[in-house]
Amino acid sequence: MARIALDAMGGDHAPAAPIAAALLAIQELGPEHQIQLVGRASVIQEQLNAQLAAAPALLVEAATRFEIVDAPDVIEMTDKPSVAIRGKPQSSMAVGIRLQTEGRSDAFVSAGNTGAQMAASTFILRLHEGLSRPAIGTVFPTAKQPVVVLDAGANVDCSAAELVQFARLGSVYARDILGRPNPAVGLLSIGEEAEKGNAAVKEAHQLLLGAHLNFIGNVEGRDIPTGSCDRGPIDVVVCDGFTGNVLLKFYEAVAPMFFGMMLKAGVSREQLGSVVHSLDYEKYGGAPLLGLKGVSIICHGKSSPEAIKNGIFAGIRAVESHMSQHIREQLTS
């Protein structure tokens, strides 16, 4: 059973996309799961009515499984992160996240302003002992199984100790959310050898050798698309948030570039279909902010209803697997 607070005002296509996502979710989820739609109550009600008018079969279901939680402030995509804490304390983000500290909700999901979500999540939920910032855990599709890459942008200047924390956070994520029993952790560098890399990476390599993780050594950029290196499959790739963010955005853009070239070369949309689908980020349903005493799932601002629905599912998996508790245990082990 999980109660998911969904930011109805967050994302480029809000409130339509989050509310459509909630309607998709309840059709797939068991009746024990509840969704809290957080935002301007009147706007949410109006949008919900409009969507239910087109799907009257969902009326009863929606009435029993949705709760509208009013939050008069709206955070814009262009707002600074701090606005979520100080400027707009009654935003859908602040209100939606606060439901967890009040014991009324188990997870928060948003496609809104990422910086604001990170600030509000950290401020309201707090971090586990020993962490200074949360990390963003993302999933990269590969030729084999998907791989967790972190940090993807929350921490730009990283110490070796922080890279080791990412390894711990990523291991729990891979185990709890992706179902990898003993996640293989690679440290992203520019050569396999322990002495290759920048200063933080070289130090982190030594620390990881004694970290009681399934550390498989350095991995390189080329090992991510294949999902493996000469030491076997990779489950987690650890890097600083600058490198991770650059790679993530590069990957997101390179696939459409390939597909565009394929179409120009005469490949049909049908032929492309299965490949596009297997590389589709939307399947992986948002990136959790790892290290919080609670659950906060970041969805892409451009998310479709399907993508936000998968964000809701990721939130449920995080709750049901007790990911946050496992992270606390991993950090203190």
Query: What does residue 63 show for φ and ψ, rounded to 5 degrees?
Result: -65, -35
CB closer to its own copies, 123 vs 242: 242
- How far is 274 from 294, CA to CA, in rounded Å? 36
Q: Minimal distance in Å, beta carbon 139 to its own copies?
A: 16
Which of 34, 142, 171, 303 binds its own copies (CB under 8 A)? It is 142
Tokens 């009013």: give the residue.
Answer: 70
Tokens at 248, concatenated: 């993530």
Q: Does 206 bind its own copies (CB under 8 A)?
A: no
Min separation Cβ 138 and its own copies, Å: 12
Binding residue for its own copies (CB under 8 A) from 53, 54, 57, 265?
A: 265
Cα–Cα separations (whole angstroms), residue 271 to 214, 238, 259, 266: 39, 34, 11, 10
Residue 246 binding its own copies, by CB under 8 A? yes
Q: Which of 159, 242, 283, 293 binds its own copies (CB under 8 A)?
A: 242
Contact status: 161 vs its own copies (CB under 8 A): no
CA–CA distance from 110 to each of 41, 121, 290, 299, 312 (Å)?
17, 11, 15, 6, 9
CA–CA distance, 264 with 287 (Å, rounded to integer): 33
122/189 with CB nearer its own copies? 189
Phi and psi at residue 36, in whole multiples of 5°? -100, 120
Which positions from 45 through 84 interact with its own copies, judged by CB under 8 A?
none
Among 16, 77, 207, 262, binds its own copies (CB under 8 A): 262
Strand ranges for the chain from DSSP E? 3-7, 34-39, 66-70, 107-110, 135-136, 138-140, 147-150, 185-188, 215-219, 228-229, 232-233, 236-238, 287-290, 296-298
Which CB atom, from 159 or from 321, has the smaller least distance to its own copies? Answer: 159
**Binding of residue 157 to its own copies (CB under 8 A):** yes
By CB under 8 A, tell whether 123 contacts its own copies. no
Binding residues for its own copies, rule CB under 8 A, total 51
By CB under 8 A, what part of segment 169-188 binds its own copies? 188
State in angstroms the smallest separation of the CB of 222 from its own copies. 4
Closest to its own copies by CB, 63 or 261: 261
Task: Please state the closest distance from residue 11 (CB atom) to its own copies, in A.
Answer: 18
Alpha carbon 281 to its chain's center: 11
Task: Indicate whether 225 belongs to the interface with its own copies (CB under 8 A).
Answer: yes
Strand partners, 4: 35, 107
Residue 230 interacting with its own copies (CB under 8 A): no
Sheet containing strand 236-238, edge to edge, reads 138-140, 147-150, 236-238, 185-188, 215-219
> Is the backbone peptide bond immediately before 79 cis, with ω within 30 degrees of 0?
no
Residue located via tokens 């586990």 = 128
Q: How far is the CB of 185 from its own copies (least distance, A)?
A: 17
Binding site for its own copies (CB under 8 A): 142-143, 153, 156-157, 188-190, 197-199, 201, 220-226, 239-243, 245-258, 260-262, 265-267, 271-275, 278-279
